[in-house]
């Protein structure tokens, strides 16, 4: 009798697909990618808001000038974060559009199923608000990160870049502050849907937990947005003031 032996399967020469790649290409995998990249973007939004709120420290918003100076002194961290943010942002948009396309292709042709229609309206709203946020971000980064605003030459009494004055004076233009407030509302809508959708993708979708998750997401999104909106509102209403010209180094007067 021939003894039983474990024999390794003969190689077929066909490469096994990478399980991670297979998951990433699946419908649920794409939703996870949108969820994880969305969660990372929310962390950025939280950090950015915390940084921006330092504009309320000091009579002329000096807090944000110190914050910006510290951030720009850490070149490696700054550029690492910027490149990471850009990569995550591209992944988020690209995968979200793929999910939207899949959703569109799977839409019912003749016999409308209510749940399906609801979810496709949801995805369409997210795509539209997402694209509007992208337009806002292009304007915003050109204005403040690239300094195309007419006030980026300003220096405060300590010789630092006067980021506070740059922001406050930019918001004195009603079109600029109006555009910001509108964009912040759109971001609030995107986030209140997005946060609850991320939490559901990660399993918080039970019958009992779902209503709480949805309400918590809406509250979280609008608290964040109130923080951002407070800055243009405080600038327009005069609650945030800029350093007067006579207290600045001569080269940095307000024209
Ligand atoms: C009133 C609201 C806001 C103010 C005052 C503000 C201020 C600024 C400033 C001063 C910068 C330049 C930072 C630097 O040069 O390092 C910046 C960059 C940026 N902001 Fe905002 N921001 C606001 C709202 C937002 C919102 C709602 C978003 C969207 C989520 C956003 C996303 C970004 C991004 C992606 C950058 C580029 C990151 C970088 O280059 O460092 N900002 N913002």
Q: What residue spans define the domains of the chain?
A: 27-252
Q: What is the pLDDT of residue 54?
A: 98
177/161 Cα distance (integer angstroms): 22
- Termini Cα distance of the chain: 100
Q: What is the pLDDT of residue 138?
A: 97
CB atoms within 10 A of CB 148: 11
141 Cα: distance to centroid of ligand 1 (angstroms) = 7
Q: What is the pLDDT of residue 15?
A: 77
DSSP category for residue 150: S
* Position 95 confidence tier, pLDDT thresholds 50, 70, 90: very high
Confidence check: pLDDT of 201 > 60: yes
Ligand 1 atom closest to the CA of 45, numbered from 1: 30
How much is the CA Rg of the chain, to the nearest whole Å?
24
DSSP category for residue 166: H
Reduce the secondary structure of 58-126 to three states and give it as a string: CCCCHHHHHHHHHHHHCHHHHHHHHHHHHHHHHHHHHHHHHHHHHHHHCCCCCCCCHHHHHHHHHHHHH
Torsion sign over Cα 159, 161, 165, 169: positive
pTM equals 0.88
Q: What are the structure tokens assigned to 87, written together? A: 């990569």
Ligand 1 atom closest to the CA of 167, numbered from 1: 5
Pick the residue whose CA is nearest to atom 43 on ligand 1. 144
Q: What is the pLDDT of residue 115?
A: 59
Mean pLDDT on 191-200: 90
Q: Which one is predicted more confidently, 88 or 13?
A: 88
Confidence check: pLDDT of 6 > 50: no
Q: Which one is predicted more confidently, 117 or 31?
A: 31
Pick the residue whose CA is nearest to atom 9 on ligand 1. 144
Backbone torsions φ then ψ of 242, nearest 5 degrees: -100, 155
Helix (H, G, I), strand (E, B) or coil at 161: strand
Q: What is the pLDDT of residue 117?
A: 58
Q: Which one is predicted more confidently, 18 or 176?
A: 176
Helix (H, G, I), strand (E, B) or coil at 155: strand
Pick the residue whose CA is nearest to atom 23 on ligand 1. 228
Give 224-237 pLDDT, tens digit per residue: 999 999 999 999 99
Confidence check: pLDDT of 3 > 60: no
Range of lowest pLDDT (101-105, 143-147, 187-191): 101-105
* Cα atoms in the Cβ-side hemisphere of radius 13 Å centred on 186: 19
Secondary element (H or E) of residue 184: helix 174-201
Range of lowest pLDDT (17-21, 47-51, 121-125): 121-125
Confidence check: pLDDT of 108 > 70: no
81/190 Cα distance (integer angstroms): 23
* Position 5 confidence tier, pLDDT thresholds 50, 70, 90: very low
Q: Which one is predicted more confidently, 208 or 148?
A: 148
26/235 Cα distance (integer angstroms): 47
Mean pLDDT on 166-193: 97
Residues lining ligand 1, CB < 6 A? 45, 48, 52, 71, 82, 137, 140-141, 144-145, 163, 167, 180, 184, 187, 228, 231-232
DSSP category for residue 152: T
Q: What is the pLDDT of residue 109?
A: 59
Give 36-92 pLDDT, tens digit per residue: 999 999 999 999 999 999 999 999 999 999 999 999 999 999 999 999 999 999 999
Give the CATH number of domain 27-252; options: 1.20.1070, 1.20.120, 1.20.1300, 1.10.3470. Answer: 1.20.1300
Give the position of tokens 């403040």: 144
Q: What is the pLDDT of residue 77?
A: 96
Backbone torsions φ then ψ of 22, nearest 5 degrees: -60, -45
Greatest mean pLDDT among 19-23, 155-159, 200-204, 227-231: 227-231
């Amino acid at each position: 009798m021939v003894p039983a032996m474990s024999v390794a399967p003969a190689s077929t020469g066909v490469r096994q697909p990478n399980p991670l790649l297979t998951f990433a290409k699946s419908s649920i995998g794409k939703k996870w990618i949108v969820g994880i990249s969305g969660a990372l973007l929310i962390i950025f939004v939280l950090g950015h808001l915390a940084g921006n709120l330092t504009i309320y420290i000091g009579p002329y918003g000096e807090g944000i000038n110190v914050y910006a100076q510290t951030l720009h002194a850490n070149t490696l961290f700054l550029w690492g974060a910027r490149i990471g943010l850009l990569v995550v942002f591209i992944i988020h948009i690209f995968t979200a559009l793929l999910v939207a396309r899949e959703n569109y292709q799977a839409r019912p042709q003749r016999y409308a199923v209510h749940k399906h229609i609801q979810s496709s309206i949801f995805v369409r709203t997210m795509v539209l608000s997402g694209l509007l946020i992208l337009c806002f971000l292009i304007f915003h980064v050109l204005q403040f990160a690239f300094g195309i605003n007419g006030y980026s030459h300003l220096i405060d009494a300590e010789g630092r870049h006067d980021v506070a004055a740059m922001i406050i004076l930019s918001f004195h233009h009603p079109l600029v502050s109006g555009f910001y407030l509108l964009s912040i509302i759109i971001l609030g809508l995107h986030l209140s849907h997005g946060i609850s959708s991320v939490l559901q993708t990660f399993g918080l979708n039970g019958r009992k937990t779902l209503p709480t998750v949805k309400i918590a997401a809406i509250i979280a999104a609008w608290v964040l947005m109130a923080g951002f909106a407070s800055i243009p509102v405080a600038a327009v209403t005069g609650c945030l003031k800029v350093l007067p010209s006579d207290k600045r180094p001569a080269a940095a007067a307000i024209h």
